[in-house]
Amino acid sequence: MHLARAKGCSEKKRKPVGSGRLLLVDSCVRQQREILEDIWPALAPGGLMVYSTCTFNRQEDEDMLAYLIEELGCRPCSLA
């Protein structure tokens, strides 16, 4: 199992967010986790899954990657 991570996004580009946006992020993280847990069994042994987001927040990016690695057994790979 391999996990590829997109590069080139900068935290400095992120705009400040209010508490309503934080609730939306939490909801998105839960939904993304459910989707990943549902599709994980369908991935063929040795298959490649690319996880990509259009956000700059840690919960949907680094924290989700940590979850995929620690809980689902993904192995990161380089895109280079």
Active site amino acids: 54
- Which strand ranges, in their side-by-side order, compose the sheet holding 76-77? 48-51, 2-5, 76-77
Distances (CA, A) of 7 to 20, 39, 41, 56: 27, 24, 26, 11
